[in-house]
Each structure stands twice: as structure tokens, then as C-alpha cells.
Amino acid sequence: MTRSRYPNWAKLNYDGVEKSRSWMANDVRCKDLTGGTTGKQCHEFPYNKTEQGGQSGFPSIAPIVSGHNTSQGGSWGAGVNLCGMRAAQAPDVHGDEFIVVPVPHPVVDATFWLCNGKSPSNQPAQLPR
């Protein structure tokens, strides 16, 4: 048996598939706490566009400020594009892997990523201050 260096939740595979999020509106973790005038959206992990994401992946979900959710999703999407992440092209083949490293708020209040020596500015990557 091969043992991973990462916890099961830390290693994800990009699949590029936009799965339905409609089920989250009725989940007790977000129901009546998001949408409308609340200013919040339901955030999920593992991310929706990963093989591990979506309702069948039993994600952790929680209401967060809409602007933060949208901003972080955009940053993650930019990272996917810059890194050239590929989804699986055939059955039984996984999409590109990536590692998620959670950093507690308020230490870092942003999605941060690195890939193959690239960063958002194409400069040596540094942790946000």
C-alpha cells in the first residue's frame, strides 16, 4: 500500500466540471443564512470543479461573505488557467493534482497558489502579508 504524504482532503484533482450547487440552498448549514439580503453565499470544500467536489463528495459547506467567496473563486480559477491544469481526458484517468494548504484567518485572507515556478505576477512567489 502506497502512503500519501498529504491528508486525504489536501490532495485534489481538477476536473473542470461545473456541478450543480442547488442542493446547498436546502442544507441546514446554509439554509436561511445565504442569499437574498444576507450578503453571504455558501462556500464548499472540496471545490466544485474537482473530482472530489460536488454533493457526492460530501463537502464541508459554510456561509461566508459573498464578495470573499466570489473573489477567492476568481483567484482559484486564475490559478487553474495560469497553471494550465487539465481535466481527465478519459475514464479511469485523473485530472491534474494540486495540494490545498489551509492557513488560518487572519494570517492569510486570500487564495494563494504556486505552480511550476509561476505566480500571479510571474515573480518569485511570496506569502501575502
**pLDDT, tens digit, 9 for 90 and up, residues 41-91:** 999 988 889 998 888 878 889 999 998 888 888 888 888 888 888 998 888
Given pLDDT bands bounded at 50, 70 and 90, which one contains residue 124? very low
Cis peptide before 91 (omega within 30 of 0): no
What mean pLDDT comes out for the span 37-43?
93
Please report where in the chains the cell 446547498 appears, as a residue. Answer: 24
How much is the pLDDT for 112? 65
Distance separating alpha carbons of residues 49 and 53, to the nearest angstrom: 6
CA–CA distance, 94 with 106 (Å, rounded to integer): 34
Cβ contact 52:99 at 8 Å:
no
pLDDT confidence band for 123 (50 / 70 / 90)? very low
**Helix-then-strand count for the chain, H and E:** 1, 4
Find the mean pLDDT for residues 1-18.
74
| Vertex 41: Cα angle to 82 and 19 (nearest 5) | 60
